[in-house]
């Protein structure tokens, strides 16, 4: 159980020579001991974290064997926005709070999503490839281009990133339709978007659909065969969140058969995606290597957020970036701050 009556222990799982400049700045004023270790084995990780108050997991995927050895009421900080590489269910079961880097790359990921929408809409990468091969114009390629300002954009997941995409694409005068079971009608109204309560209904309407949800049991293969079949043959699928949110086999089939016009992908079911993945070489697909969240700013902000989350937990508060609200039913009563819920 995290307490405030003794020197608290923060364990950083990552490079031992990392200066942790931003994290230390956020923890200034707290009576903490920071231990850095880059574990070579599960056993070494268990030994390091078993009595930790907070664990900063930078690139280390914490699983059940490690989490179950931690003290109830401790916390784990994930540096990234996504947290599907960690066993959150196990953390909740064993009373471990988990927080992510919510918001640390919302602008960057939304930029990438918007860029991919514009790319496939104007056939920019496709045209570049065609010219690189020594060609000039392609009538079929030109015929696939449609005015963006007459198009319907579908946003699946209306959290930080989904809202940022809407804000940026609103300048293109697109009609925007949103699917997110957690969003109330007044939020949709505030952001001037239409809300639907069925994913297939959204799929039928859109010319472009961009997905912004975390990967979990509920969203695994969220966009599958039925959704692709429901889309227009002229529509494009954009994914910059997590590859397992899409049924990759169904997506490949939809692209090969012409059920949809194309896709813009930053993420894949397996990463790095194999060299023989058809998505790498399809003429109607634009790909990037899971790099949407990267920038000089997001790299720094992820560290600042990690330090802020750790400081909140060490003060006995609920992190505003908590991802497992159910842990509150397990941890003994404690002084807490307002829990803000989930961000996607």
Convert the pLDDT of each residue in 256-267 to its tens digit: 999 999 999 999
Q: What is the pLDDT of residues 60-83, one digit of tens each?
A: 999 999 999 998 889 999 998 888
Residue of 58, 212, 242, 305 marked catalytic? 242
Q: What is the pLDDT of residues 170-182, one digit of tens each?
A: 999 999 999 999 9
DSSP at 5: S
The pLDDT score that the predictor gives to residue 339 is 36
Section 128-132 average pLDDT = 93
Given a cut of 90, is residue 308 above it in pLDDT?
A: yes
Given a cut of 50, is residue 344 above it in pLDDT?
A: no
The pLDDT score that the predictor gives to residue 146 is 80
> Using CB atoms within 10 A of its CB, is residue 164 exposed (0-12), middle (13-18) or buried (19+)?
buried
Given a cut of 70, is residue 3 above it in pLDDT?
A: no
Given a cut of 60, is residue 184 above it in pLDDT?
A: yes
**pLDDT confidence of 183, banded at 50, 70, 90?**
very high
Measure the CA–CA gap between 125 and 272, rounded to whole angstroms: 21
Section 311-333 average pLDDT = 85
2-8: Cβ within 8 A, 24+ apart: 2/53, 2/54, 2/73, 2/74, 2/75, 2/313, 2/314, 2/316, 2/334, 3/53, 3/316, 4/314, 4/315, 4/316, 6/31, 7/31, 7/32, 7/33, 8/32, 8/33, 8/53, 8/54, 8/314
Residue of 271, 297, 315, 334 marked catalytic? 271
The pLDDT score that the predictor gives to residue 140 is 79
Sort residue 109 into left (φ over 0), alpha (ψ -120 to 50) or beta.
alpha
Section 230-258 average pLDDT = 98
Q: Is position 197 annotated as part of the catalytic site?
A: no
Taken in order of first residue, the domains within the chain and their CATH numbers are 8-104+296-329 (3.40.50.720), 106-287 (3.40.50.720)
Q: Is position 191 annotated as part of the catalytic site?
A: no
Q: Is position 290 annotated as part of the catalytic site?
A: yes
Q: What is the pLDDT of residues 22-38, one digit of tens each?
A: 999 999 999 999 999 99
Q: Give me the count of residues in the chain.
A: 344
What global pTM score does this model have? 0.86
Structure token pair of residue 92: 């909740």
Residue of 191, 290, 303, 305 marked catalytic? 290
The mean pLDDT of the chain is: 92
């Amino acid at each position: 159980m995290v307490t405030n009556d003794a020197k608290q222990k923060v364990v950083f799982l990552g490079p031992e020579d990392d200066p942790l400049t931003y994290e230390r700045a956020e923890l200034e004023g707290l009576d903490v001991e920071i231990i850095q270790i880059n574990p070579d084995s599960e056993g070494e990780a268990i030994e390091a974290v078993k009595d930790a108050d907070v664990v900063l997991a930078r690139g280390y995927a914490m699983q059940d064997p490690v989490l179950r050895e931690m003290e109830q009421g401790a916390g784990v900080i994930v540096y990234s926005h996504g947290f599907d590489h960690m066993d959150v269910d196990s953390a909740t079961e064993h009373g471990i709070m988990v927080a992510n880097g919510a918001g640390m790359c919302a602008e960057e990921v939304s930029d990438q999503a918007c860029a991919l929408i514009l790319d496939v809409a104007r056939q920019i990468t496709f045209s570049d490839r065609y010219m690189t091969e020594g060609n000039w114009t392609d009538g079929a390629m030109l015929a696939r281009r449609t005015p963006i300002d007459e198009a319907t954009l579908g946003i699946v997941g209306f959290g930080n990133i989904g809202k940022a995409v809407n804000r940026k694409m609103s300048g293109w005068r697109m009609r925007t339709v949103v699917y997110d079971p957690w969003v109330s009608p007044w939020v949709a109204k505030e952001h001037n978007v239409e809300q639907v309560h069925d994913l297939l209904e959204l799929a039928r309407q859109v010319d472009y659909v961009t997905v912004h949800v975390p990967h979990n049991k509920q969203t695994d293969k969220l966009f599958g065969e039925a959704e692709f079949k429901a889309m227009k043959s002229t529509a494009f699928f954009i994914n910059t969140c997590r590859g397992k949110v899409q049924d990759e086999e169904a997506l490949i089939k939809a692209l090969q058969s012409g059920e949809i016009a194309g896709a813009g992908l930053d993420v894949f079911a397996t990463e790095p995606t194999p060299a023989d993945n058809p998505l790498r070489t399809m003429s109607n697909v634009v790909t990037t290597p899971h790099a949407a969240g990267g920038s000089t700013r997001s790299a720094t902000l992820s560290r600042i957020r990690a330090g802020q989350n750790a400081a909140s937990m060490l003060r006995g508060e609920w992190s505003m970036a908590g991802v497992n609200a159910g842990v509150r039913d397990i941890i003994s009563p404690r002084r807490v701050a307002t829990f803000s819920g989930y961000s996607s």
